[in-house]
Amino acid sequence: MYILLNWKMNNLKLLFLIVLVATFGCTTNKPVDVTQTGKLPKIFPENYGTTIPCNIAPLNFRVEEDCDEIYVSIKGNNSSLEKGFKGGKSDWPKKDWATFLENNKGDSITFTIYAFENNNWMKYKPFRFFVSPDSIDEYLIYRLISPGYQTWNKMGLYQRQLSGFQEKTLLNNTIMPHSCMNCHSLAANNPDNMVFHIRENNSGTILIKDGVVKKLVSKKPTSFKSVSFPYWHPSAKYIAFSINKVRQVFPSFGTERAHAFDMESDMVIYDVEKSEYFTSPLLFAEDAFEAFPCFSPDGKTLYFVTAKAAPMPEEIQNIKYSLCSVSFDPEMATIGEKVDTLISSAFTGKSVTMPRISPDGKHIIVTQSNYGNFPAYNEEADLYMYNLQDSSYVLLDAINSNQVESYHSWSSNGRWLVFGSRRMDGLFMNAYIAYVDENGVPQKPFLLPQKDADFHKSFLFSFNIPEFAIKPVAVSPYLIEKVAKKSEDGKAIFETTH
- Amino acid letter for position 29: N
Among 425, 439, 488, 491, binds other proteins (CB under 8 A): 425
Report if residue 146 touches other proteins, rule: CB under 8 A.
Answer: yes
Shortest distance (Å) from residue 481 CB to other proteins:
7
The maximal CA–CA distance of the chain, rounded, in angstroms, is: 78
Among 16, 24, 281, 391, binds other proteins (CB under 8 A): 16
The pairing of beta strand 127-132 with beta strand 51-53: parallel
Among 337, 426, 471, 486, binds other proteins (CB under 8 A): 426
Shortest distance (Å) from residue 169 CB to other proteins:
5
Q: How far is residue 144's CA from residue 157's CA, in Å, rounded to a whole number?
A: 7
Task: Map the footprint of other proteins across residues 23-62, applying CB under 8 A.
Answer: none
- Beta carbons of 497 and 145 less than 8 angstroms apart: no
Among 2, 35, 341, 347, binds other proteins (CB under 8 A): 2
Indicate the residue among 169 and 348 with the shorter CB distance to other proteins. 169
Report if residue 5 touches other proteins, rule: CB under 8 A.
Answer: yes
At a CB cut-off of 8 Å and minimum separation 6, what does 447 contact?
45, 47, 424, 430, 431, 432, 456
Report if residue 175 touches other proteins, rule: CB under 8 A.
Answer: yes
Indicate the residue among 48 and 455 with the shorter CB distance to other proteins. 455
Alpha carbon dihedral 473, 477, 479, 482, in 10-degree steps, equals 150
| Segment near other proteins (CB under 8 A); pick from 9-17, 89-97, 212-220, 237-245 | 9-17
Which of 211, 199, 165, 204 lies closest to 448, judged by CA? Answer: 165
Burial (Cβ within 10 Å: 0-12, 13-18, ≥19) of residue 95: exposed
Among 9, 212, 474, 493, binds other proteins (CB under 8 A): 9
Report if residue 439 touches other proteins, rule: CB under 8 A.
Answer: no
Reading across the β-sheet that carries 405-410, which strands appear in turn?
Answer: 405-410, 416-421, 430-435, 446-447
Burial (Cβ within 10 Å: 0-12, 13-18, ≥19) of residue 347: exposed
Among 148, 336, 359, 472, binds other proteins (CB under 8 A): 148
Among 23, 29, 36, 252, binds other proteins (CB under 8 A): 252
Q: How far is residue 175's CA from residue 107's CA, in Å, rounded to a whole number?
A: 45
Cα 415 to Cα 84, 438, 458, distances in angstroms: 33, 7, 31
Indicate the residue among 146 and 487 with the shorter CB distance to other proteins. 146
Q: How far is residue 206's CA from residue 331's CA, in Å, rounded to a whole number?
A: 25
Indicate the residue among 110 and 169 with the shorter CB distance to other proteins. 169
Among 77, 150, 341, 392, binds other proteins (CB under 8 A): 150
Report if residue 402 touches other proteins, rule: CB under 8 A.
Answer: no
Q: Count of residues binding other proteins (CB under 8 A)?
A: 49
Q: How far is residue 440's CA from residue 356's CA, in Å, rounded to a whole number?
A: 13
Report if residue 346 touches other proteins, rule: CB under 8 A.
Answer: no
Report if residue 476 touches other proteins, rule: CB under 8 A.
Answer: yes
Among 477, 483, 495, 497, binds other proteins (CB under 8 A): 477
The long-range contacts involving 149-153, CB below 8 angstroms and separated by at least 24 positions, are 149/248, 149/250, 149/257, 149/258, 150/248, 150/496, 152/180, 152/498
Q: How far is residue 207's CA from residue 205's CA, in Å, rounded to a whole number?
A: 6
| Segment near other proteins (CB under 8 A); pick from 255-263, 301-309, 381-389, 434-442 | 255-263
Among 106, 133, 211, 251, binds other proteins (CB under 8 A): 251
Shortest distance (Å) from residue 354 CB to other proteins:
23
Shortest distance (Å) from residue 13 CB to other proteins:
5
Indicate the residue among 17 and 212 with the shorter CB distance to other proteins. 17
Among 196, 238, 428, 463, binds other proteins (CB under 8 A): 428
At a CB cut-off of 8 Å and minimum separation 6, what does 5 contact?
none
Q: How far is residue 45's CA from residue 216's CA, in Å, rounded to a whole number?
A: 41
Q: For 168-206, give the DSSP string.
A: EEEEETTTSTTEEEEEEEEETTEEEEEEEEEEETT-EEE
- Beta carbons of 306 and 288 less than 8 angstroms apart: yes
Indicate the residue among 147 and 293 with the shorter CB distance to other proteins. 147
Task: Map the footprint of other proteins across residues 206-225, applying CB under 8 A.
Answer: none
Q: How far is residue 354's CA from residue 231's CA, in Å, rounded to a whole number?
A: 11
Site string for other proteins, 450-469 (x = CB under 8 A): ------xxx-x---------
End-to-end Cα spacing for the chain: 33
Shortest distance (Å) from residue 371 CB to other proteins:
12
The long-range contacts involving 436-441, CB below 8 angstroms and separated by at least 24 positions, are 436/358, 436/363, 438/360, 440/358, 440/362, 440/363, 440/385, 440/387, 441/398
Report if residue 278 touches other proteins, rule: CB under 8 A.
Answer: no
Among 38, 221, 254, 311, binds other proteins (CB under 8 A): 254
Report if residue 152 touches other proteins, rule: CB under 8 A.
Answer: yes
Among 26, 34, 213, 424, binds other proteins (CB under 8 A): 424
Indicate the residue among 57 and 176 with the shorter CB distance to other proteins. 176
Report if residue 441 touches other proteins, rule: CB under 8 A.
Answer: no
Note the residues at the interface with other proteins (CB under 8 A): 1-2, 5-6, 8-9, 13, 16-17, 20, 146, 148-154, 168-169, 172, 174-177, 249-257, 259, 313, 424-428, 456-458, 460, 476-478, 481
